[in-house]
């Protein structure tokens, strides 16, 4: 989420609706956590694929 969006949000929220601000901050944090988890999962899957390919290559080299 961009800094500009956060500023707009804070400006709208000058009325002091703290509960709304907290729930919004919580929502943003949850979205970031989801993104991080997806990234980590994607990275792990890539590593697993690379290792599998390397193992196959090693087997083929050893068979010769």
Using pLDDT thresholds of 50, 70 and 90, give the confidence band for residue 23.
confident
In the chain, the number of structural domains is 1
Closest CA to 18 of 26, 7, 30: 26
pTM for the predicted model, two decimal places: 0.47
Using pLDDT thresholds of 50, 70 and 90, give the confidence band for residue 2.
low
- Contact predicate 13/20, CB 8 Å: yes
* Structural domain span for residue 24: 3-63
Contacts of 21 (CB under 8 A, 6+ apart): 9, 13
Cβ burial, residue 18 (10 Å; 0-12/13-18/19+):
exposed
26-63: pLDDT as tens digits: 888 999 999 999 998 888 899 999 999 999 999 999 98
Residue 1 or 30, more confident: 30
């Amino acid at each position: 989420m961009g800094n500009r969006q956060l500023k707009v949000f804070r400006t709208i929220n000058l009325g002091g609706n703290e509960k709304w601000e907290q729930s919004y901050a919580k929502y943003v944090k949850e979205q970031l956590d989801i993104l991080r988890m997806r990234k980590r999962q994607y990275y792990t899957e890539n590593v697993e694929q690379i290792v599998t390919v390397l193992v196959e290559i090693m087997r083929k080299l050893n068979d010769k």
